[in-house]
Amino acid sequence: MAVVCLRRVAAPRCRLATILGVLVAGNAWAQAPAAIGADMKRLLETNAWQLEYRLSFKASSSGTGETSYQTQLASDATETLVIDQRSQGASLTMQKVMANASKPGGAANLQKALTDIAMQSDNIASWMLGPNVPSLGGEPTLAQLQAAALAGAKRSIGTQTIEYTAETRGDKFVDETGKPFKRIVRTTTRGSGGVTQGSQQITLEINGATRRLLLMVPATLPTVLDAALTEEVVTLTESPPGSTPSEERKTARPTLESFPGQLTVTDAELAFANGGALMIDDPAVLQSGKISGQHTVAATYKNNNAPVAGTLVVKYTLTPK
């Protein structure tokens, strides 16, 4: 079932600002903010960004033994939304600095890194994705909150398409009476459905001094309520092997949210939040009025609780609003 975030509570910044202020005041190496050009100033002053985001994942697996198998999965998901919660200063850079500080030897440069962030705060801006429900004003009732949450869960901002095939084969099975038989099971799962904002955590940060951006995006997009796929399972049994096979067909309607499930990014450079998200670090350069990027990373999904390795292609386009 899709999860809807009714309210986003921003992390407190006053304590962080106090810490950074003390660090700047007490360090001789603190430098004045770098001068930036008019083009970067316009980017930093942008009120909101439209994000067009696409995730394309492909994976296959195979194995042999008493039962051999092979599977193929192709998943494509797109969405378009607006990142409009702007704040001055670093957000993602701070998270990266603190993450690096926890690594062996990382704490040695922590104080200087924090000081640099504080000194360049006027040249850094951040934007977060706003809440998925409209402001209800006043003191909304529980029924109003539930209705708003349900409406948000059904609101589509994109599309996800799935194509999955699997075949298992056993040539030397024996039934309970000791008679040999051969069995082939072919599964096909396909379909498409809407993508919803849900509780996605998306943040953009632009550093005017370095002319680079950080973009944190999810590796899996939530789907609208009741979005379902079509699954067909065909079982062919030869008893004894070599005889005319009997055929059994079954159909089902698995939810789009449950299949293929959560993707996990395993690429060390871009993986974030235990692989549930990506932290993209790209040049912040406008081309034809937009900033675009593409990355190909290693990722996995789970099939029968076993991770299957694949390739995830991430594409994004940011347009100032």
Task: Say if residues 266 and 302 touch (Cβ distance below 8 Å).
Answer: no
Which whole-number Å values give the CA distances from 284 to 41, 211, 254, 303, 318, in the listed order? 12, 5, 41, 38, 10
Task: Say if residues 158 and 194 touch (Cβ distance below 8 Å).
Answer: yes
Task: Say if residues 122 and 88 touch (Cβ distance below 8 Å).
Answer: yes
Residues 16-62: tens digit of each pLDDT: 444 444 444 444 444 556 678 899 999 999 999 999 999 999 999 99
pLDDT for 113 equals 73
Residues of the chain with pLDDT under 50: 1-30
pLDDT for 1 equals 38
Task: Say if residues 129 and 197 touch (Cβ distance below 8 Å).
Answer: yes
pLDDT for 133 equals 63
Q: Is residue 54 part of a domain?
A: yes
- CA proximity to 54, closest of 257, 218, 279, 283: 218
Q: Is residue 303 part of a domain?
A: yes
pLDDT for 211 equals 94
Q: Is residue 11 part of a domain?
A: no
- CA proximity to 73, closest of 194, 158, 166: 166
Q: Is residue 25 part of a domain?
A: no
pLDDT for 21 equals 46
Q: Is residue 230 part of a domain?
A: yes
pLDDT for 225 equals 80
Q: Is residue 16 part of a domain?
A: no
Q: Where are the beta strands (DSSP E) in 89-210?
A: 124-129, 158-174, 180-195, 203-207
Residue 105 neighbours by CB distance under 10 Å: 8
Residue 134 neighbours by CB distance under 10 Å: 9
Q: Which residues partner with 54 through β-bridges?
A: 78, 315
- CA proximity to 60, closest of 51, 69, 52: 69
Q: Is residue 127 part of a domain?
A: yes
Q: Which residues partner with 50 through β-bridges?
A: 82, 319
Residue 40's domain comprises 34-132+142-320
Q: Indicate the helix (H) or strand (E) that contains 15.
A: helix 14-25
Q: Is residue 77 part of a domain?
A: yes
Which whole-number Å values give the CA distances from 52 to 21, 80, 82, 103, in the listed order? 37, 5, 9, 34
Number of domains present in the structure of the chain: 1
Task: Say if residues 170 and 190 touch (Cβ distance below 8 Å).
Answer: no
Residue 317 neighbours by CB distance under 10 Å: 16
* Token representation of residue 314: 């991430």
Chain position carrying tokens 């640099």 = 116
Task: Count CA atoms closer than 13 A to 102's CA, side-chain side.
Answer: 5
Which whole-number Å values give the CA distances from 61 to 180, 187, 300, in the listed order? 28, 14, 11
Q: Indicate the helix (H) or strand (E) that contains 44.
A: helix 38-44
